[in-house]
Structure 1
C-alpha cells in the first residue's frame, strides 16, 4: 500500500516540480504517438488554435490529483471520465474511444514518467527508494483515474519495461506533425511579447523536445540530433541543475500545490469556475482532452 501523498513524500516533491515544464513538448509528442490518442486529439481537440488555455486547463486538472486531496482527486477523476466518454470516432476504418483502456493507461504513464525524466535531466535522479515510493503513489493516482489494475505495472522496473516497449512500437503520424507545426507557428499568447522572443521560445521548445525524446523514437521521427546539439543541451541542463537544485522542494512545487487546492474549490463552485475561464471549461462544458 502506497503512503498518502503528503509533504515530504516522493510524489509531493517531484510531480509538481517546475522543471517538469521543460518536458512539456516531449510528453505531448509521446502521448499523441499512440494512434488512439492521436485520433482523439485530431477529432476532439482545438489545441492548435488555443493551446495556452488548453495547457493551463491540463495543468490545473493534473494538480488536483497530487495536491488537491483524495476527495478532490476522486471528483476530478469522475469529471474527466464523464467527459472522455463522449470522445469517440473512426480512425483507419475502426471505431475508437478516448476511454480505450490501453490508450488511457498510456496517457497516465507519460505523466508518471515526466517528473522522473525531469530530475534525471535537470536535477538529481531519484534514488531506488524514492522511485519505489513515487511509483506506488502514482499507481494509486492511476486507480483514481480509472486506469485498470492490469494496465498498471506492479513496480517501477516493470513500468520501465512497459514504457520502453510502447515507445519502441510507435511510428510518425499526422498528429505529431501538426503538433510540431503548432509549436513553431502558433500566435503569441499576449500582444506585448516581442516577436523575436516568441520565435526564440519556439526554437527552445523544439530543441528541448528533440533533446528529451527517447533517442530511437527521435530518429524515427526524423528529428536531427548532432554532437553539437548534445553539448549545448548538456550545458543548458548543467545550469538549470545548478540554479534549481538548491531550491527547497516546497518552493519548487508551490505553484502546483496552490493550483491544486484552488481547483478543488473551483470544482465545488462551478459557477465561479465557468466565469473565470469564459464559460467553456466547467462541469458540463464542451469536452476537452488532456492534450487540448
Structure 2
C-alpha cells in the first residue's frame, strides 16, 4: 500500500511540476494513438473547436486526483466515469465504450509517465526509491479512477514493458491527423488578443509544440507517424533541455507544483459549491 499523497511524497513533488506542460502535446498524441480513445475523441470531444477550454478542464480534473484530497479524488473519479459512460459509438465496424478497460488503463498510464519523462528531460531523473513510491501512489489513484487491478502492472519495470508494448502496437489514425491539423489552426485563447497578432503567435506555438512532440514521443511511434528527427534536432533539443533545467533549478521545489495544488483545492471547493460557477466569466 502506498503512502497517501501528502506534502513531501513523490507524487506530491512531481505530478504537478510546471514543466509538465511541455509534454501536453506528446501525451495527447499518445492517448489518441489508442484506437478506442481515438474514436471517443473523434465522436465526443470538442477539442478542435475549443482546445483551450478542453486543456483547462483536463488540467483542473488532473489536479484533483493528486492535490484535492481523497474525498475530492473519489468525487471526480465518479463524475468522470459517469461522463464516459455516455461515450459510445462505432469504430471500424465495432462498437466501443468510453469505459473500455484497456483504453481507460492506457489514458491513466500516459498520465503516470509524463512526470517521470519531464524529470528525465528537464529536471533530475527520479531515484529508485522515489520512482517506486511515485508509481505506487499513482496505482492507488488508478484504483480510485476505476482502472482494473489486472491493468496496473505491479512495479515500474513491468509498467515500462507494458507501456513499450502498447506503443509498439499503435498505428497512425484519423484522430491523430486531426490533432496535428488543430495545432496549426487553433483559435486564439482569449478574445482580447488582437486578431493581427494571433497568426504569428499561432505559428510560433505550432512550431514549438510540434518540435516538442517530435522530440519526446517514443522513437518507435515517431517513426510510425513519419515524423523526421535529425541529429541537428537532437542537439537543439538538448540545448533546450539544459535551459529549462537551469530555469527549473531556480524555482524552489515546493513552488514548482504550487499552481496545481491551488487549482486542485479550488476545484474541490467549486464542485462542492456549484453555484459559484456562475461567477466565473
The bucket for the TM-score relative to the shorter chain is over 0.9
Structure 2 runs not aligned, ≥5 long = none
Cα distance in 1 between the residues matched to 2:277 and 2:14: 27
Structure 1 position 247, deviation (Å): 1.9
**Is the aligned partner of 1:54 residue 2:58?**
no
Structure 1 position 109, deviation (Å): 0.2
Structure 1 position 274, deviation (Å): 5.2
Alignment: residue pair count: 277
Q: Are the aligned partners of 1:124 and 1:245 in contact in 2 as well (CA < 8 Å)?
A: no
Q: Secondary structure at the match of 1:245?
A: helix
Cα distance in 2 between the residues matched to 1:184 and 1:130: 38
**Alignment partner for residue 214 of structure 2, among 201, 207, 210?**
210
**2:163 equivalent in structure 1:** 163
Cα distance in 1 between the residues matched to 2:74 and 2:30: 26
**2:40 equivalent in structure 1:** 40
Q: Secondary structure at the match of 2:260?
A: helix
**Is the aligned partner of 1:196 residue 2:200?**
yes
**1:256 equivalent in structure 2:** 260
Structure 1 position 187, deviation (Å): 1.6
**Is the aligned partner of 1:219 residue 2:223?**
yes
Cα distance in 1 between the residues matched to 2:176 and 2:214: 13
**2:84 equivalent in structure 1:** 84
**Bigger shift: residues 57-66 or 238-247:** 238-247
Q: Are the aligned partners of 2:31 and 2:110 in contact in 1 as well (CA < 8 Å)?
A: yes
**2:277 equivalent in structure 1:** 273
**1:243 equivalent in structure 2:** 247
Q: Are the aligned partners of 2:186 and 2:202 in contact in 1 as well (CA < 8 Å)?
A: no
**Bigger shift: residues 256-265 or 191-200:** 191-200
Structure 1 runs not aligned, ≥5 long = 278-292
Structure 1 position 201, deviation (Å): 1.1
RMSD of equivalent CA atoms: 1.0
Q: Are the aligned partners of 1:73 and 1:144 in contact in 2 as well (CA < 8 Å)?
A: yes
Q: Are the aligned partners of 2:27 and 2:111 in contact in 1 as well (CA < 8 Å)?
A: yes
Q: Which has the higher helix share?
A: 2
Q: Secondary structure at the match of 1:253?
A: helix
**2:110 equivalent in structure 1:** 110
**Is the aligned partner of 1:183 residue 2:187?**
no
**Is the aligned partner of 1:17 residue 2:21?**
no
Cα distance in 2 between the residues matched to 1:238 and 1:143: 36
Cα distance in 2 between the residues matched to 1:229 and 1:274: 47
**Is the aligned partner of 1:228 residue 2:221?**
no
Relative to structure 1, the CA distance from residue 79 to residue 243 in structure 2 (aligned partners, 3 Å threshold; closer, same or farther) is same
Q: TM-score, normalised by structure 1?
A: 0.93
Q: Are the aligned partners of 1:30 and 1:110 in contact in 2 as well (CA < 8 Å)?
A: yes
Q: Are the aligned partners of 2:184 and 2:202 in contact in 1 as well (CA < 8 Å)?
A: no
Cα distance in 2 between the residues matched to 1:32 and 1:249: 32
